Amino acid sequence: MGDEPLIRWRWVRRNWSDEILPALGDHIVLCGISVLIALAISIPIGIAITRYRRAQTPVMFLTGLLYTIPSLSFFAILITFPGVKIGRTPAIIALVAYSLLVLIRNTVVGIDSVPRETIEAARGMGLTSSQILRQVELPLALPIIVAGIRIATVSAIGIATIAAYINAGGLGTLIFRGIDRDFPTQILIGAGLATLLSVLVDFGLLAVERWLRPWSRRAAARAA
Amino acid sequence: MAERILEIIQGPIFSRALAEHLRLSVAALVVAVLIALPLAALVSQSPLGSLLAINISNIGRAVPSLAILALALPFLGLGFRPALLALTLLAIPPILINAAIGLREVPSSVVESARGMGMSGLQILTRIRLPIAAPVIFAGLRTSAVQVVASATLATFIGGGGLGGLIVRGLQRNSPEFQLAGAIPVALLAMATELGFGGLQRALTPKGLRVGSRSRAA
């Protein structure tokens, strides 16, 4: 590498619109789709296991095991399944599987955090259990569910960089091409943007989470 | 296919990759503990220090593991040592965060009474604060260990060896046997690490709780 500067800004300018931005876009889409699918699976499961407590331990154990599988290994195993080719599909399957643990856990913790008296009061007002779920428990659980979405999304952004190795696209493409070509600029741009994206998403969703907490919203309303 | 996988697992390529993987993971974890624990003890002396350490570590955790490994490449080149450095950097934040929080949350009344009994700062640290914080510290160690074992799979991309090499070889040669001969043992290793450290953590907790409840009663 020798005299090679760490970042060749000329390369960045020249490849900004047809390599870097599309990779960033692919990355966001890949992670976004995965977390949304994971949410659609996790919230019903989370609600179900607050009703059937006995299922809680096996569900958490199973999703916990899925969570520990190293991503490259997960991708490699998925690809050997019939009908799963390299590309976005195995990447999305793995990213969804990784998100289940934290999303289900936070749904359960969120619903459990609703005070008993609140539910009793709602029942006393004549609300049915499905009304209590939709109008009382889920809204109150929302900040904790959003905290789960935040953790799941940040880790998906990191793991998705590895998915580029199985042709799922995204910012990892820049990192792997940079490694292959021994070109630090490309590695740094890919790694830097992935880091920046996860920090921004982390702060952004943290802000949403705080805004959703009823007491802080009330405080904000009073201030306004 | 299963036969071919077993054949690979019994061969020299696999045993070398496994040895590299274990060496890399254990070394990274040990170095990380040696850095993170004293640092946590140091920053826990002041609220500002621990707040700073926790927040910086949290940002550090946002850096994707592939990014940390790939970033070692332009600075340190290919091989075992850059991979070790990257994995160590990856392992520090969870240990540091948990140790800082664990040490901070030791009730001050306990520390005061230890001081009243004439213990020195070092004695309070090693005999009171560390044992009480042990379960929390172990939780951080567990997170780090699982993460390091998983990320050591990526070391192969910067020439650091490990079981990821078999997966990559399998993907490049379109050989599902090689892919699985790397992927399944790595997955099992990660799960064993999770369960093993989980067991250690549980084994430690009652003792920690005993210390805690006894001092609370006192």
pLDDT digits (tens, 9 = 90+) for A54-65: 999 999 999 999
A216: confidence class by pLDDT, cuts 50, 70, 90: low
Q: What are the tens digits of pLDDT across the range B157-177? A: 999 999 999 999 999 998 999
User: Within a 13 Å sphere around the CA of B88, how many CA atoms are in the beta-carbon half?
Assistant: 18
Mean pLDDT of B96-112: 90
The minimum CA-CA distance between A93 and chain B, rounded to whole Å, is: 16
Residue whose C-alpha is closest to residue A193's, from A69, A26, A51, A44: A26
pLDDT of amino acid B39: 94
* Best-predicted range by mean pLDDT (A12-16, A85-89, B187-191): B187-191
pLDDT of amino acid B213: 39
pLDDT of amino acid A117: 94
Residues A119 and A136 sit within 8 Å (Cβ to Cβ): yes
Residue whose structure tokens are 């500067």: A5
SS3 readout for A5-60: CCCCHHHHHHHHHHHHHHHHHHHHHHHHHHHHHHHHHHHHHHHHHHHCHHHHHHHH
Domain range A9-215, CATH architecture: Orthogonal Bundle (1.10)
Residues 6+ apart with CB under 8 A from B135: B102, B201, B204, B205, B208, B209
Does residue A218 carry a pLDDT above 70? no
C-alpha–C-alpha distance, residues A184 and A12, integer Å: 12
Residue of A73, A75, A85 for testing the chain B interface, max B β-carbons within 10 Å: A73
Does residue A4 carry a pLDDT above 70? no
Contact B70 A159 (CB under 8 A): no
pLDDT of amino acid A215: 63
- Residues of B within 8 A of A166 (CB-CB) are 171
Chain A residue with minimum CA distance to B150: A70
Which two tokens mark A29? 């889409």
Determine contact: A87 vs chain B, CB below 8 A.
no
pLDDT of amino acid A81: 92
The minimum CA-CA distance between B30 and chain A, rounded to whole Å, is: 20
Contact A80 B179 (CB under 8 A): yes
State the CB neighbour count (10 A cutoff) for residue B34.
Answer: 11
Collapsing DSSP to helix, strand or coil, B161 comes out as coil
Mean pLDDT of B70-83: 89
Residue whose structure tokens are 């079981």: B163
A161: confidence class by pLDDT, cuts 50, 70, 90: very high
A219: confidence class by pLDDT, cuts 50, 70, 90: low
- Residues of A within 8 A of B71 (CB-CB) are 187-188, 191
Q: What are the tens digits of pLDDT across the range A89-130? A: 999 999 999 999 999 999 999 999 999 999 999 999 999 999
Residues 6+ apart with CB under 8 A from A23: A169, A170, A171, A173, A174, A190, A193
pLDDT of amino acid B206: 52
Chain B residue with minimum CA distance to A159: B64
Does residue B58 carry a pLDDT above 90? no
What is the residue extent of each domain of chain A?
9-215
Characterize B62-74 residue by residue with b for buried, 16 or more Cβ atoms within 10 angstroms of its Cβ, and e for exposed: bbbbbbbbbbbbb
Does residue A210 carry a pLDDT above 70? yes
0.95 surpassed by complex ipTM: no
B47: confidence class by pLDDT, cuts 50, 70, 90: confident
> Distances from the Cα of A103 to the Cαs of A36, A43, B190, in angstroms?
11, 7, 21
B131: confidence class by pLDDT, cuts 50, 70, 90: confident
* Best-predicted range by mean pLDDT (A135-139, B56-60, B74-78, B133-137): A135-139
Residues B101 and B136 sit within 8 Å (Cβ to Cβ): yes
pLDDT averaged over chain B? Answer: 88
pLDDT of amino acid A213: 80
Contact B67 A72 (CB under 8 A): no
B217: confidence class by pLDDT, cuts 50, 70, 90: very low
Type of residue numbered A132: I
B187: confidence class by pLDDT, cuts 50, 70, 90: very high
Pick the CATH number of B2-217 from 3.30.450.40, 2.60.40.10, 1.10.3720.10, 3.40.50.970: 1.10.3720.10
B49: confidence class by pLDDT, cuts 50, 70, 90: confident
Mean pLDDT of B73-79: 87
pLDDT of amino acid B215: 37
pLDDT of amino acid A156: 96
The minimum CA-CA distance between A205 and chain B, rounded to whole Å, is: 14
pLDDT of amino acid A64: 93
A104 burial type by CB count under 10 A (0-12 exposed, 13-18 middle, 19+ buried): buried
SS3 readout for B16-51: HHHHHHHHHHHHHHHHHHHHHHHHHHHHCCCHHHHH
Chain A residue with minimum CA distance to B182: A73
> Residue B66 is nearest to which of A64, A162, A198, comparing CB atoms?
A162
The minimum CA-CA distance between A47 and chain B, rounded to whole Å, is: 27
SS3 readout for chain A: CCCCCCCCHHHHHHHHHHHHHHHHHHHHHHHHHHHHHHHHHHHHHHHHHHHCHHHHHHHHHHHHHHHHCCHHHHHHHHHCCCCCCCCHHHHHHHHHHHHHHHHHHHHHHHHHCCCHHHHHHHHHCCCCHHHHHHHHHHHHHHHHHHHHHHHHHHHHHHHHHHHHHHCCCCCHHHHHHHHHHCCHHHHHHHHHHHHHHHHHHHHHHHHHHHHHCHHHHHHHHHHC
B201: confidence class by pLDDT, cuts 50, 70, 90: confident
Mean pLDDT of B3-18: 91
Which two tokens mark A168? 């799922």
Residue whose C-alpha is closest to residue A73's, from A97, A46, A56, A43: A97
